[in-house]
Amino acid sequence: MKPLKLKVSITLDNDIVLKIKGLSEQDDRSFSQYINMVLKQHIAKKEKSK
């Protein structure tokens, strides 16, 4: 069973949105999937450095 997902709303700078859209297309992921992946990687890196 897939984990439940929570819908959130955030405000991002336009240049960041454009870069993420480009990166997500290159990675063949949706915008949301790409942000989720990047945030998971960031959290794992922070937890590892504790």
Rounded Cα distance, 30 and 28, in Å: 7
Amino acid at 44: A
pLDDT digit string (tens) for the chain, length 50 residues? 777 889 999 999 999 999 999 999 999 999 999 999 999 999 999 999 98
- The pLDDT, as a whole number, for residue 25 is 98
In the chain, where the domains are located = 14-48
pTM of the model: 0.85
Q: Which residues contact 30 (CB under 8 A, 6 or more apart)?
A: 24
- The pLDDT, as a whole number, for residue 2 is 76
- The pLDDT, as a whole number, for residue 4 is 87
- The pLDDT, as a whole number, for residue 3 is 76
Put residue 23 in one of left, alpha, beta given phi > 0 → left and psi -120 to 50 → alpha. Answer: alpha
